Amino acid sequence: MRIVWIAVLLLGITSVAKGQEKLTVAVLAFYNLENFFDTIDSPDTDDFEFTPRGPNVYNSHVYYDKLSHLARVISELGTDYTPDGAAVIGASEIENITVLQDLVKQPALVARGYKIIHQDSKDARGVDVGLLYQPKYFTPIDVGFYSLKTNKVGEPLRYSRDILVATGLFNGDTIIVTVNHWPSRRGGEQNTAWLRNKAAQWNHSILDSLKAKFHCTKTVVMGDLNDDPINDSVKKYLGTGRSIDKLKPDQMYNPFEDYYRQGLGTTAYQDAWSLFDQIILSNGLATSTHGFHYYKAVVHNPPYLTQKSGSFKGYPLRTYDGSTYAGGYSDHFPVYVLLVKPQS
């Protein structure tokens, strides 16, 4: 699909033209907000590190600085295509609903009127996933949170972050979105692969059930998957393909696989880039030309989000360099996809 020109409508929704066909644009985004804690020491979670008395001296100055920085980044997502920015934003590494409430009240975001979907998970560190949405685009009709156990049989119960699932009307289309932060690679990539495979299978099962319930063919899996687009969790257990033209009916389309193969990443570790942050679309969103469908995927990595010096030079500009406040944003770049639909 080729964009010939872009014009901003009075309603704030951008119209693009493909040939003589006018299209409406909407943006779906995901951002790992990197240890987005409040400053209060919670007795129920392991959050002391991110308190004023903790080793990071995570005080009100740091918190409000981080709020302002994150709001700036989020406010820019997709604005090259629509002045409304992101219609729906999945977020990870958030401590509670309070930090999201503070975030959407920031001057850079408040005019958009973002609403919040969130629930505290059973994760030991107390970090969760959440969803922000603009009501002018998205109206939730069903929301669920699915716990992900990470212990083996016979071990004490342990949990990772919940999988958030929101079904709703997206400017007239029924759409199902899952927001994820899959188990990390701590302990070794191979030793922990079964956990991410389990998370992928859980997504697959949830979507199959809800697609039947709501007669919906348009679904989205977004999140920090702690795996790359070529890993088994994504390719085999979620069932993704990299080419729209060769996509099988039961496959999802992962536009970030080609980016990964080209060397593009969203986070870095030991001088190696990974593309853990992905937005994956059902066949119905990837191949359909009725209602909203896929147009483009973006890794949002403007120069100001990249660290210019120090031990993390070239990486995403993070909040802390060790325990020293670095005044950054996140150790992940955000990602987003553009969806378009013919105007009636």
Q: Do residues 140 and 133 lie in contact, with contact meaning Cβ atoms separated by under 8 Å?
A: yes
Q: Do residues 301 and 268 lie in contact, with contact meaning Cβ atoms separated by under 8 Å?
A: no
Domains and their CATH numbers in the chain: 5-342 (3.60.10.10)
Q: What is the pLDDT of residue 19?
A: 52
Q: Do residues 142 and 182 lie in contact, with contact meaning Cβ atoms separated by under 8 Å?
A: no
Q: Is the pLDDT of residue 10 over 50?
A: no
Residues in the chain: 344
Q: What is the mean pLDDT of the chain?
A: 92
* Model pLDDT for residues 209-268, shown as the tens digit of each residue: 999 999 999 999 999 999 999 999 999 999 999 999 999 999 999 999 999 999 999 999
> Across residues 270-281, what is the average pLDDT?
96
* Model pLDDT for residues 70-97, shown as the tens digit of each residue: 999 999 999 999 999 999 999 999 999 9
Q: Do residues 132 and 91 lie in contact, with contact meaning Cβ atoms separated by under 8 Å?
A: yes
Q: What is the pLDDT of residue 309?
A: 87
* Euclidean distance between CA atoms 82 and 25, whole angstroms: 7
pLDDT band at 20 (very low <50, low <70, confident <90, very high): low
CA dist list (Å): 64 to 60, 68, 95, 218, 294: 6, 6, 15, 37, 36
| 100 burial via Cβ count (<10 Å: 0-12, 13-18, 19+) | buried
Single pTM value for the model:
0.94
